[in-house]
Structure 1
Amino acid sequence: MVDAERLKKNWSLVAAHGDQVPLYFYSVLFLTHPETRDMFPMNMAAQRDKLVTALGAVVSNVDTIEHVVPALQDLGRDHRKFGALRGHYPAVGEALVATLEHFSGPHWTPAIAADWTAAYGLVAATMADAADEAAHYTPAWWDAEVVAHDRRDLETAVITVAPGRRFDYLPGQSFSMCTDLRPRVWRQYTPANAPRADGTLELHVRAVDGGEVSTALVSLLRPGDALRLGPATGSGLTLQQGHGPIAMIAGGTGVAPMKALIEQLAAAPRPTSLYWGARTPAGHYCLDEMRALAAAYEWLEFTPCADEDLFGAGVRIGSPAELAVADRRCVGAAVYLCGPPGMVEASGKHLVASGVRAEAIHFEPFGE
């Protein structure tokens, strides 16, 4: 029987060492199993803490593992794009346990070692089983071609991508993407359209500070360039069953999944309000398209808003969450929330403080 509380305390002790933990982990992994090095980007700065932090957080919460099984299965299927095989999981587990032992110091015991080994084994088996099953019916990745690249401003581009074979996803789901401009570096993006007959995907990409992939996609990508796509994952932003009203709160390129959901809702409309925020009106890079959607669908109300409007563009001033609450659009509604991490966190807190039930708020944060 795994002692979950003991694992959590031990992980807290180890995590207090900060960046030293992932540095040690990858050193052990690459020295003991050099064949794994090619699965990771040459520049490890952005990747460094992701794997070990995720492993530690998930494995140490093994007592509630049933709640994250779908996410672990998604991870297992997704990791096939790296070339990860069942045989690689023990190598990661060995490096993880060695790292935990190193940073636990005198607090490390055979009982803790046995707990970590058992807990990691459960996580690894869940991921590997899902990956093996997926291998029977879906590719590990999809090769795709850029068919259009529309740069809207210095920071933002709308990119149309054509996968070389059928790519299944639900509106609101995201997938990881890799470009030869930044080899082996993957980032999550969410299509801004519901599935189309021609299979093309519309992606909204904003270059973020230090974002090597997003910067390359906005500034360097051209029609005809090749991309690689991982499988679609996530359910936080997918449309939930129901007939009640919907409130959508978006910031920046977080409007992309909202646009996809609106296209899906066109088949079975529900009263829907979309509040789209930006720092200034200039950040509304697809304003005409969103206004056209609102004009076409009588069940859709669209409110662009900004932190400031120095030149009288006619948008409302305020955060999208604050305005949606003030307009009472969140009362009894399913609320969908997407945008920069800070905006998502602040909006969620404001919604809950305003009386919106936490279970009515749907979101799925991801990186650049």
Structure 2
Amino acid sequence: KKKNKTNPKLSSRQRSARTPYAPAPPPTQPVQLRTPLPEYGPADDSTLIRRNLEEIEPVADSATAYFYALLFVQHPQLRELFPVSMDTQRDRIFRALLTAARLSDDPDVLTEYLSGLGRGHRKYGTQPEHYPAVGECLIAALTQYCTLTWSDESEAAWVRVYTTISQIMIDAAAEDEKRAPAWWNAEIVAHEMRTPGIAVLTVRPDQPYPFRAGQYTSIETPWWPRVWRHYSFASAPRSDGLLSFHVKAVPAGWVSNALVHRARPGDTVRLGPPSGSMTVDHSTDTGLLCLGGGTGIAPIKALVEDVAEHGRSRPVEVFYGARSDHDLYDLHTMLRLGDRHPWLSVRPVVSDVPLHGPGYGPGQPGGSAPLEGQLPDVIRQYGPWSAYDGYLSGPPGMIRSAVDALRGAGIPAHRIRHDSIDELVAAAQ
């Protein structure tokens, strides 16, 4: 198989010399490094890169702005791949590259992370010939802002790592192109407001859309071209091919507000490829401990349906958390599932106020009294959980604290599943 060459050909000093963009000034105060540079002896690529990353972290916003300015001035044809407003997009590629560099000494995790990025970037129109331009500008930005730790050895390390990064992404995209489109058009066939800020959308893709319960996709609306946001599937694969999503409108959220407040049946959205590894292993009968916070209950519901469809008797414990009873918008659905499946237990949890309202107390579907407290704290009161696999979905802060709670409850880290980029980066640091 012919490989695409992605190594930047010019040195960083040559690139800086020909750059028509006025560089942003470096930090006024030197960055204090936690890991001093050695006076003698070579360092491996991982060590060199981590030192660069440590130095650039305090000025990452400025380095990111410099990177994009350089990219758009030197390669203006790439501007059309990005949304008109860069407010929310600006740091995505740059930080993704830095994340990949942090993972450079863990080949398995790196390949999994980058393969997903490579497949996902097809929907932006990314081509193999775009990668050298990005690498060129990345190294130029690092040269400008890593004033204490940059060296010829660092540059060589970054060229090697970026070559690996780009080749994994290019190969993943090429393989994906053989079996799937870059995106799917999907018509909205149902739009149900569950609360003033949460909607449940059902869409019909224009061609078969293969995915697994627990995964997520990215959605682009016609009102904000080239702006994509991730949403989990709210059901297991259905025989009619329809897909469901739970969307919460967030402040200044372009896509979420469009989907909740503007989208209507008959509108068409675009779907990226499915992604994520929070799926069920159906070869075992291990119990599932599922924590869903807010709209994070959507993939948990899909996992429950998936277990039911496979017909295996295994215990599934669901803790459904929200701030108040008003935010438990899908509780009735979960309780009805609990009524149908004796192996399923559903416990609502609220953190701010007691759960009072019709349909939520003892004697109602599901019959369990509400629990009060933070979701990770509540699960510590139950168990034991050492024989269960953990599944987490919700805000990043909840996932971080829930991972600690589950590990403290005896579930090994490799049996705790979630799809959080923040946690992936933290695990690599």
For this structure pair, what is the TM-score category when the shorter chain's length is used for normalisation? over 0.9
Q: State the alpha-carbon separation in 1 of the partners of residues 378 and 48 from structure 2.
A: 45
Q: Counterpart in 2 of 1:207?
A: 249
Q: Alpha-carbon deviation of 1:136? A: 1.5
Residues 1:234 and 1:162: Cα distance change in structure 2 (over 3 Å): same
Contact 2:217/2:232 (CA < 8 Å) preserved in 1?
A: yes
User: Does the 8 A contact of 2:215 with 2:232 survive in 1?
Assistant: yes
Cα shift at 1:61: 3.5
Alignment partner of 1:337 out of 392, 402, 406: 392
In structure 1, what is the equivalent of residue 280 of structure 2?
Answer: 239
Larger radius of gyration: 2
Give the Cα–Cα distance (whole angstroms) in 2 for the partners of residues 185 and 166 of structure 1.
23
Higher mean C-alpha deviation, range 315-324 or range 182-191: 315-324
The alpha carbon displacement at 1:329 in A equals 5.3
For 1:144 and 1:234, the matched residues in 2 are separated by 20
Q: For the Cα contact (< 8 Å) 1:307–1:318, is it kept in 2?
A: yes
Q: Which digits, 9 at most, give the CA deviation of each residue in 1:115-167, with x for residues without a partner? A: 11111001100000111121111101101110000011111000001100000
User: SS state of the match for residue 249, structure 1?
Assistant: strand
Counterpart CA distance in 2 for 1:147 and 1:102 is 51
1:303 alignment partner, SS class: strand
Whether the 8 Å contact between 1:60 and 1:119 is mirrored in structure 2 is no
SS at match of 2:187: strand
Structure 1 equivalent of residue 320 of structure 2: 276
Quote the residue 1:93 is aligned against: 135
How does the TM-score come out when normalised to structure 1?
A: 0.95
Distance change >3 Å, CA 106–CA 303, structure 1 → 2? closer
d(CA) in 1 for partners of 2:191, 2:351: 28
Note the C-alpha offset of 1:89. Answer: 0.7
Letter in 2 for 1:352: R
Of residues 35, 58, 68, the one that matches 1:16 is: 58
How big is the alpha-carbon RMSD for the aligned residues of Structure 1 and Structure 2?
A: 1.7
Query: Percent identity of the aligned residues?
Result: 37
Q: Does 1:361 align with 2:416?
A: yes
- What secondary structure sits across from 2:189 in the alignment? strand
Instruction: After superposing the two structures, state which structure 1 stretch, 169-178 or 62-71, moved more.
Output: 62-71
Aligned-partner SS, 2:235: coil
Partner of 1:63, secondary structure, is coil
**SS where residue 222 of structure 1 aligns?**
coil
Equivalent residue of 2:106, what SS?
helix
> Take 1:280 and 1:184, find their aligned partners in 2: how far apart are those partners?
35
Alpha-carbon shift at residue 335 of structure 1 (Å): 0.9
Query: In the alignment, what sits opposite 1:316?
Result: 371
Say whether the 8 Å CA contact 1:76–1:128 is kept in structure 2.
yes
Does the Cα contact within 8 Å between 1:2 and 1:119 map onto a contact in 2?
Answer: no
Compared with structure 1, are the counterparts of its residues 310 and 243 closer, same or farther at alpha carbon in structure 2 (3 Å cutoff)? closer
| Distance change >3 Å, CA 54–CA 283, structure 1 → 2 | same
Contact preservation (8 Å) 1:246, 1:271: yes
Moved over 4 A (4+): none
Contact 2:51 2:149 in 1 (8 A): no
> Is 1:122 the counterpart of 2:164 in the alignment?
yes
State the 1:36 CA deviation.
1.0
Q: Counterparts of 2:313 and 2:86 in 1: how far apart (Å)?
A: 45
Q: Is the alpha carbon distance of 1:106 and 1:280 closer, same or farther for their aligned partners in structure 2, counting shifts above 3 Å? A: closer
**CA contact 2:213–2:236 (8 Å) conserved in 1:** yes
Name the structure 2 match of 1:160. Answer: 202
Secondary structure, counterpart of 2:380 in structure 1: helix
State the distance in 1 between where 2:79 and 2:131 align.
14
Letter in 2 for 1:179: T
CA contact (8 A) 1:163 1:200 kept: yes
Q: 2:98 aligns with which of 56, 79, 91?
A: 56
* Higher alpha-carbon deviation: 312-321 or 196-205: 312-321
> 2: CA distance between counterparts of 1:124 and 1:188?
23
User: How far 1:320 moved relative to its partner?
Assistant: 2.8
Q: Contact 1:338–1:363 at 8 Å: present in 2 too?
A: yes
Q: Aligned equivalents of 1:43 and 1:155: distance in 2?
A: 24
CA distance in 1 between partners of 2:273 and 2:132 (Å) = 24
Deviation at 1:50, TM superposition (A): 1.7
Segments of structure 2 that go 5 or more residues without pairing to the other structure are 1-42, 362-369, 423-429
Give the CA deviation at 1:60: 4.1
Q: Check 1:286–1:361 CA distance in 2 against 1; reply closer, same or farther (3 A cut).
A: same
1:225 is aligned with what amino acid? D
1:286-330 deviations in whole A, cap 9, x for unaligned? 122111111011110111111144462332212333323312152
8 Å contact kept, 1:203–1:256: yes
CA change 1:298–1:310 in 2 (3 A) is closer
Q: How much has 1:354 moved relative to structure 2?
A: 3.6
- Amino acid of the residue matched to residue 398 of structure 2? M
Q: How many Å separate the matches in 1 of 2:139 and 2:291?
A: 42
Q: Distance in 2 between matches of 1:323 and 1:329?
A: 13
Q: Matches of 1:106 and 1:311 in 2, distance apart? A: 55
1:232-269 deviation per Cα after TM superposition (whole angstroms, max 9, x unaligned): 0111x111342121111110011100111111101223
Aligned letter for 2:326?
Answer: A
Task: Work out the CA distance in 2 between the residues paired with 1:93 and 1:185.
Answer: 23
The alignment partner of 2:146 has SS state of helix
Aligned with 2:335 (options 272, 278, 291): 291
Counterpart amino acid of 1:168?
Answer: P
TM, length-normalised to structure 2: 0.82
